[in-house]
Amino acid sequence: MKASIIVFSPSGHTLKAAQVFKRELENKNIGVQLINITKNSKYLQSSQAERYLGEELDEHDVLLIGGPVYAGHIEKNILRLIELLPEAGGKYGDLAVPFITYGGVHSSIALEEMGRYLKRKNRQSILGVKIAAEHTLTKTFAKVINGTKPGQLEEKIIADAVDRMISIAGRDDKKTKDAGKSFLYSKLSERILYHIFSQEFFHKKFKDVNIDLQKCLKCKKCIEVCPVNMFDYVDGTVKMVRDKKECILCAECYHECPADAIRNPYMEVARKRLKDGCAELEKEQSAIYPAAGDLF
Ligand SMILES: Cc1cc2nc3c(=O)[nH]c(=O)nc-3n(C[C@H](O)[C@H](O)[C@H](O)COP(=O)(O)O)c2cc1C
C-alpha cells in the first residue's frame, strides 16, 4: 500500500499532524509521499498548478489531505488544490482521508466541504479526522486557546486513524462506502449558517494588512513567514507584492514582526470574537469520523 499526503499549513499545526500521519504510516511499512504546498508558489500562485500536481503526485492507494479551519470552513487554498487533483483511476486509488486542524472553537463544515470536493474527484473519504490545535489568532491574547495542541492525545487519535485506514484500505471486496455523511457532525443551524456565509464573506472586509514603514526594520521576517508569499523586498523596502485579497489573514506576519510594524485590522475583531482567548469550545475537540461504533 502507498499513501500520499498533501498539506497546507500557514502556522505549522496541520503540518505537524501530517508529519504524525506520515510517521505512523511508515511505522506500518507504508510508503508515504508528503507534499507541503505552504509557501509553494507552484501551487499557490501559478496557473500551471494542476500540471505541477499531476507531475509531482506519486502513485497511491490512499490520499490524505489536510488544512486548517478558517471561519468554520476549510481554508480555501487547500480546497482549491482538491479541485486541481487528478481524478482517481489508474495509478491513483480512490480512497481519501481528509483531516483538519482547528483552534477548538468551531470546525463547522470544514471536513464536510473536503469530503464533498473529494467526491467530485471520484475519491471516497473512508474516514475524516478533526484535530484540535493552538488557535493561532490567540497567540498574543491574554489566554492562548489550546496552546499545547496538537499533543499526545491528538497523536494517539492520528495513530488510531491510521490503523482504521489500513484495515479499510486492505479489505478485499473494495466496496468501501463514502463516509462523507459522518462529517455532518455540527448542529444543522450552524451548518446552514456556514453554507450561506462563505469564508470570504467573513474575511474580505478585513483584508487590509499593511506595513508601517516608519517602524519597519527591514528584517524581512514577514517575507519569510508569510505562507502565501504576500511580501517581497523591492527597491530597499518590504512591499506587499500580491493583491490584498490573496492575504489569508493568518496573522503570521503580525505575530512574528519584531517591530510591531504590521497593521492587521482582523486582529481586534478576532480578539472580541474570541473574547481574548476565553471562547466557548466545541464539545468533542478531536475525533475520527465516522465514530468507531458507526464503522461500515
Ligand atoms: C483567519 C483564521 C481563521 C480561523 N478560524 C477558525 C475557526 O473558525 N474555528 C476554529 O476553531 N479555529 C479557527 N482558526 C484557528 C486555526 O484553525 C488553527 O489554529 C489551525 O490549527 C491552524 O492551522 P495551521 O497551524 O496549520 O495554519 C482560525 C485561524 C485563522 C488564522
Segment (H or E) for 36:
strand 31-36
pLDDT for residue 171: 82
pLDDT in tens, 246-273: 999 999 999 999 999 999 999 999 999 9
**Parallel, antiparallel or unpaired: strands 128-132 and 287-289:** antiparallel
Where on the phi/psi map is residue 29: left (φ > 0), alpha (ψ -120 to 50), or beta?
Answer: left
93 pLDDT above the threshold of 90: yes
pLDDT for residue 222: 98
Q: Is 164 helix (H, G, I), strand (E, B) or coil?
A: helix
Residue 98 CB less than 6 A away from ligand 1: no
As a whole number of angstroms, the distance between CA 133 and CA 110 comes to 15
33 pLDDT above the threshold of 70: yes
Find the mean pLDDT for residues 41-66. Answer: 97
Q: 140 and 260 in contact (C-beta within 8 Å)?
A: no
As a whole number of angstroms, the distance between CA 69 and CA 135 comes to 10
pLDDT for residue 177: 80
295 pLDDT above the threshold of 70: no
25 pLDDT above the threshold of 60: yes
pLDDT in tens, 121-161: 999 999 999 999 999 999 999 999 999 999 999 999 999 99
C-alpha grid cell, residue 70: 478558517
Instruction: List Cβ neighbours of 223 (8 Å cut-off, separation of 6 or more).
Output: 231, 232, 233, 238
CA 29 to centroid of ligand 1, rounded, Å = 32
Q: What percent of the chain has pLDDT over 70?
A: 97
209 pLDDT above the threshold of 60: yes
As a whole number of angstroms, the distance between CA 166 and CA 17 comes to 18
pLDDT in tens, 60-86: 999 999 999 999 999 999 999 999 999
Task: Kindly give the number of the ligand 1 atom that is closest to the alpha carbon of 227.
Answer: 27
294 pLDDT above the threshold of 70: no
Residue 69 CB less than 6 A away from ligand 1: yes
Task: Assign domain 200-274 one CATH number from 3.30.70.20, 3.40.50.300, 3.40.440.10, 3.40.640.10.
Answer: 3.30.70.20
Find the mean pLDDT for residues 48-57. Answer: 97
pLDDT for residue 28: 97
pLDDT for residue 296: 53
What's the chain's average pLDDT? 96
As a whole number of angstroms, the distance between CA 191 and CA 203 comes to 18
As a whole number of angstroms, the distance between CA 252 and CA 275 comes to 20
Q: 170 falls in which pLDDT band (50, 70, 90)?
A: confident
Domain boundaries, the chain: 2-134+143-192+285-291, 200-274
Find the mean pLDDT for residues 162-190. Answer: 89
pLDDT for residue 277: 95
pLDDT for residue 207: 97
CATH architecture of 2-134+143-192+285-291: 3-Layer(aba) Sandwich (3.40)
Q: What percent of the chain has pLDDT over 90?
A: 95
C-alpha grid cell, residue 23: 510517521
CA 9 to centroid of ligand 1, rounded, Å = 10
Residue 250 CB less than 6 A away from ligand 1: yes
Task: Pick from 16, 111, 114, 136 the residue to mutate for probing ligand 1's pocket: most ligand atoms within 8 Å of its CB.
Answer: 136
pLDDT for residue 268: 94
With residues binned 3-state (H G I as helix, E B as strand, rest as coil), the percentages for the chain, rounded to 5, are 40, 20, 40
pLDDT for residue 83: 97
Find the mean pLDDT for residues 99-118. Answer: 98
Map grid coordinates 514577514 to a residue. 222
